[in-house]
Structure 1
Amino acid sequence: MMDAMNPGKENIPLKINPELGRSIFGTNAQAYHQARPGYPARVFEILQTTCGADVDVFEIGPGTGQATEPLLDYGCRVTAIEPDERLAAFLDVRLKKHAARLTIDRHPFEDIELPAGSFELGIAAMSLHWLSPEIALAKAFRLLRSGGKWAMWWTVFGDPDDMDDFQRQTQSLFKKIGAQSFTPVAGWTPFALERDKRLAELEKASFTETVYEKVRWSPVLSTRQVLELTATFSPVARLPEIERVCFLDDIARIAEREFNGSVRRNFVTAIYTAHKP
């Protein structure tokens, strides 16, 4: 999901600098891994149906391996392209048991040199928005074999079409820090849910058989889980420490006072799949 900032101009989401986006999540890899929920099972059902198991996969921006590990468990051979050395090191240790089928490339995707037509599947989970989609998708297309598949997806932590009570009650807090992604406004759609734009980008890169699906899911989170997840959102993580602590204290008070420490959230995961002829 694209986090967005809005310093002083109403309803105009401003993207966070991509360089910051590529570095902020590795500050505490263990905390990030514990806080971020995995992806709904439907995502992996789609991957297995379209691509099968035991295939060669490249992954753009694996982070701590929430998509990487299930693919390895399915028997895939994965080249994980992670430019943040801290995240790459964490991934290396955490998935050591899969070392024979996991290669970690520590270069930015734009700079890697891999043979064209080497992979049957390419994926980007919660990462493509930190790159130029046009450049990244063209390169992804080249890396795939003829007949190869591509999948990209994002989870939006607050369904704009079905706002939950917690999101309503915390909107004003997120608005104060310019977190537009969590304070939906008329006329603006999160990056992940801009269906026509994302499909057009895939088609421009010469992909065919493009498919879009929204997966809605509603986890129940404890106050601790709410705080840990919220702390990983880039508009929150980039706050000065005192402001961040105060912000999270306010979030905790709402979770405890209004929801008794049991918060049902409405999330939506948008997944796009495509085919290389």
Structure 2
Amino acid sequence: MVSKIEPYKGIAATYDEIRPSYPEKLIEDIITKTGISLGDRLLEIGPGTGKATIQFADKGFSVHGIELGEDMAAILRNKCKQYEKVTVDVVPFEQWTGVDNEEYDMIYCAQAFHWLDPKIKYEKCHKLLKDGGYLVLFWYNPCDDDSLKAKERQNKINTIVKKYVSISFVKNENSRRREHDGVYKEDERLKEIENSSLFTLVEKIEYLLETRNNSDEYLKVMKTVPAFASILDGLDDMCISNMNNEIKEVINEYGGYVSSFLNFSLYITKKVS
């Protein structure tokens, strides 16, 4: 039987270094539109290295995180030493049993809800929330540059990756990294929420953030994408080094950086009693 290792195992530090935090306006909108106060209990599903956790903790909120990955949780715990009101359990959310039937005022999940079992996640969140509580979900997806030069650059990068996979990739059938690109077709996320019949959408808000990465930063970003990390898992160090150098040459040939926009989508939903 093929086992699925944690998607960010071994790459958590790079993830924490290169992945963006969330727009401050997004966090402020959550607080304003849900009306949560500092005395309320927040449950975070999949906090990772604490990008969103820190943004709420800095404002004085109590947050209990449920994190699957040991590597991610180690960084999260270290970052949250100064926040007495932040606690973390390392366990899959589907298996987490909670403490003394505690109910939460808000459950939120940043960039991770797509990893969870759809047959469990909505029902479990519904049970964990107080009446009138909120389930808040947010993600970002890249809006890549669709100019001719950008497409040419990406095609060249794809060709380089395929070349090294074809000549050097070694499959490990006993251990594969869990993969999910997090991308949904036009509002499948909303359809999933509605189909649960357990939550009603209060508001959906979108935010746009421009990013600009040089060749080294681009490679770090790609390393934190589980699907690409799985490719790296199957290559030896020399192949990875050679592939990276070829990708850098292409990026430098096209101006030395990769520019794109990140589209953040925030879904504020309320528990149906």
* Counterpart for residue 25 of structure 2: 42
Q: Which has the higher strand share?
A: 2
TM-score computed with the length of structure 2 as normaliser: 0.79
The answer to whether the aligner puts 1:108 opposite 2:92 as a matched pair is yes
In 2: Cα distance, 1:175 partner to 1:122 partner: 42
Contact kept in structure 2, 1:146 and 1:276, CA below 8 Å: yes
Report the CA distance between 1:168 and its aligned residue. 5.5
C-alpha offsets along residues 190-224 of structure 1, whole Å, 9 cap, x if unaligned? 75444543223223241013433332221222322
Q: Which range is displaced more, 63-72 or 79-88?
A: 79-88
- Of 176, 191, 196, the residue aligned with 1:200 is 191
C-alpha offsets along residues 165-211 of structure 1, whole Å, 9 cap, x if unaligned? 54652145347768xxxxxxxxxxx7544454322322324101343
* Counterpart for residue 235 of structure 2: 241
* Counterpart for residue 271 of structure 1: 266
Q: Which range is displaced more, 123-132 or 207-216?
A: 207-216
* Counterpart for residue 12 of structure 1: none
Q: 1:272 to 1:107 in 2, by over 3 A?
A: same
Report the CA distance between 1:226 and its aligned residue. 1.5
C-alpha offsets along residues 36-82 of structure 1, whole Å, 9 cap, x if unaligned? 12222332122122233413111111110001100111111111101
- Of 246, 249, 271, the residue aligned with 1:250 is 246
Contact kept in structure 1, 2:156 and 2:250, CA below 8 Å: no
Matched letter for residue 96 of structure 1:
K
- Of 192, 206, 210, the residue aligned with 1:214 is 206
TM-score computed with the length of structure 1 as normaliser: 0.78
Contact kept in structure 2, 1:202 and 1:210, CA below 8 Å: no
Contact kept in structure 2, 1:53 and 1:74, CA below 8 Å: no
Report the CA distance between 1:32 and its aligned residue. 1.7
In 2: Cα distance, 1:221 partner to 1:107 partner: 33
The answer to whether the aligner puts 1:67 opposite 2:52 as a matched pair is yes
Q: 1:191 to 1:26 in 2, by over 3 A?
A: closer
* Counterpart for residue 4 of structure 1: none
* Counterpart for residue 175 of structure 2: none
Q: Which range is displaced more, 263-272 or 70-79?
A: 263-272
In 2: Cα distance, 1:163 partner to 1:32 partner: 25
Q: Secondary structure, in 3 states, of the residue corresponding to 1:150?
A: strand
In 2: Cα distance, 1:219 partner to 1:34 partner: 14
In 1: Cα distance, 2:25 partner to 2:92 partner: 29
Pair member with larger Rg: 2
C-alpha offsets along residues 71-108 of structure 1, whole Å, 9 cap, x if unaligned? 1111111111012222212211121101x201111111
* Counterpart for residue 62 of structure 2: 77
Q: How many residues align?
A: 244
Q: Which runs of 5+ in 1 are unaligned?
A: 1-16, 179-189
- Of 205, 223, 230, the residue aligned with 2:215 is 223
* Counterpart for residue 25 of structure 1: 8
Q: Which runs of 5+ in 2 are unaligned?
A: 163-180
In 1: Cα distance, 2:200 partner to 2:189 partner: 13
Q: Secondary structure, in 3 states, of the residue corresponding to 2:91?
A: coil
Q: Secondary structure, in 3 states, of the residue corresponding to 1:64?
A: coil
Report the CA distance between 1:117 and its aligned residue. 5.9
Q: Secondary structure, in 3 states, of the residue corresponding to 1:62?
A: coil
Q: 1:267 to 1:236 in 2, by over 3 A?
A: same
In 1: Cα distance, 2:118 partner to 2:155 partner: 29
Q: 1:127 to 1:262 in 2, by over 3 A?
A: same
